[in-house]
Amino acid sequence: MGDTTPFDEMHNADGSVREPYRALAQWLDEQPDKALTLMQSDAEAIFRKLGITFAVYGSEEGTEKVIPFDVIPRIISAMEWRKLSKGIEQRVRALNAFLYDIYHRQEILKAGRIPEKLILQNSAFCPEMMGLEPARGVYAHIIGTDIVRVGPDEFYVLEDNLRTPSGVSYMLEDREAMMQLAPDLFSRIKVAPVENYPENLRRTLESVAPAGVSGTPNIAVLTPGIYNSAYFEHSFLADQMGAQLCEGPDLFVDGGKVYMRTTTGPERVDVIYRRIDDDYIDPLTFRPDSMLGVPGLFNAYRAGNVTLVNAPGTGIADDKAVYTYVPEIIEFYLGEKALLNNVPTYNCVDEEERNWVLANIADLVVKEVHGSGGYGMMVGPTSTKAQHAEFKRKIEARPDNYIVQPTLALSTCPTYVNAGIAPRHVDLRPYVLMGEEVRITPGGLTRVALKKGSLVVNSSQGGGTKDTWVLED
């Protein structure tokens, strides 16, 4: 960090090609003129056909868009991946242990390692979860850890995303598209598969069925409905897993158990992969005005008759204010040093730190504590003076509502743009499944900032995606 030249994942400083990219570089050299242009337009057609779209909230067109796809894959060596995935596994195990603890004995608070107030007064802490025993003690079964790379050997975790991370369908469809676009590349380069994700998701969900379920557990995917921006993904995953896609009114609670209405009568449901926010899952326990949830669902969960995936209240573990304590959390529960770095985070409540932040705002990234999706944030170096002034005012008015981090020089990958192949900044969201074991899909979703110099990779802000290849040994 601090070095302003971003790390180029394809090239060494002397211009030579880095080892993991050699076969790809050679293939790119062999391609005739216009081949990539053709691939790019074919890709567009494939995605339109697959029907992968997303809704942009607040956009004036307000329509469904195809997320831009870049035809040049991102490549991670087997060795790099082993290191990364070990660090991710450590993190999700520690965060799950943390969740178990804060909803039970709260040893970490008693030990004074995290301020009690930060957890118990936090709106992301769910008091209704206290004392509840989730199957296998797992709270966050599906996690999307956001990672950025800044050097050959230097990775930072930006966010842990333990609520209901989305985007896994893009990871799967990017691979699908890539295999159609460049089948010859896959015969030259051995790439670790990702297409078993839905099968692993199903196995993970089955493994956390409530005790006493005999036979194969019945799984439902609970969606807020077709107006949700990730509805495509909900229906896609249900379809791929062979599970039922349901909306709130399709489910009901009877005698403390959850049933699905079907044409052949009620069918018991054992595990619910819910893509509805905590507040809306059950109007009897949470927001009484929720029309999306199932009345009595939380109580059925509490009584041990159904498993909710992810558990309500996991948001406390990816709260931006709790984030700074993750290295501490890893040490406390696992007795290990964190393998992956946390981005240093400045606390604006502290007057001295705040003054420093205000003086250096042009070099920093400001994020709203409860913001997501690239909304409510400011990247200092790419913002205007007026924006700097606006965020200074915001921080002064509500210092506890913002966290501030240094601007990381996100690594770049070769990307096909109008001018040809050019480096663009990327991040990575690997998908983790935790049930009877931890399963991490090799690679994940690479998001790329298509605008030159931009560091914002969110699809809602003009980002695209790339297929992510983890090389096999």
Partner 1 sequence: MRISIRHQLSTTPPAGSPNAVLQLLLTPQSGPTQTVESWSVEMAGIGNAERFTDAYGNSVHLVNQRPPEGELVVTIEGVVTTVDRHGVFGRVGPGPVPALFKRVTPLTKAPVSLYGKFRGSKDSRIDVLHALMARVGEVLHSPAQVQSQSQDGQSQSQSQGGPTAAEGEEVAPELPRPPATDYAHAFIGAARALDIPARYITGYLVGDEDDPAAFHAWAEAYDEALGWVGFDAMLGLCPTDRHVRLAVGLDGLSAQPLRAVPAGDGPKEIGVSVEVVS
Residues forming the site for partner 1 (CB under 8 A): 106, 109, 116-117, 120-121, 127-132, 252-257, 283-285, 288, 295-296, 299-300, 302-305
Q: What is the DSSP letter of 215?
A: S
Q: Sign of dihedral through CA atoms 324, 328, 331, 332?
A: negative
Question: What whole-number distance in Å separates Cα of residue 324 and Cα of residue 339?
Answer: 15
Closer to partner 1 by Cβ: residue 127 or 335: 127
- State the minimum distance, in angstroms, from the CB of residue 131 to partner 1: 6
Closer to partner 1 by Cβ: residue 132 or 433: 132
Closer to partner 1 by Cβ: residue 266 or 374: 266
Number of separate helices (H) and strands (E) present in the chain = 14, 24
Closer to partner 1 by Cβ: residue 304 or 399: 304
- State the minimum distance, in angstroms, from the CB of residue 394 to partner 1: 23
Among residues 276, 269, 214, the alpha carbon closest in space to that of 243 is found at 269
Closer to partner 1 by Cβ: residue 48 or 261: 261
Residues β-bridged to residue 191: 471
Name the strand (E) or helix (H) holding 368.
strand 364-368
- State the minimum distance, in angstroms, from the CB of residue 231 to partner 1: 25
Token code pair at residue 409: 């020089």
- State the minimum distance, in angstroms, from the CB of residue 98 to partner 1: 16
Name the strand (E) or helix (H) holding 300.
helix 297-302
- State the minimum distance, in angstroms, from the CB of residue 291 to partner 1: 10
Closer to partner 1 by Cβ: residue 73 or 283: 283
User: Do 104 and 133 form a contact (C-beta atoms < 8 A)?
Assistant: no
Among residues 385, 396, 428, the alpha carbon closest in space to that of 410 is found at 428
The 3-state DSSP class for residue 20 equals helix
- State the minimum distance, in angstroms, from the CB of residue 116 to partner 1: 5
Token code pair at residue 68: 């831009």
Closer to partner 1 by Cβ: residue 2 or 288: 288
- State the minimum distance, in angstroms, from the CB of residue 297 to partner 1: 9
CA 165 to chain centre: 4
Question: What whole-number distance in Å separates Cα of residue 292 and Cα of residue 248?
Answer: 5
The 3-state DSSP class for residue 387 equals helix
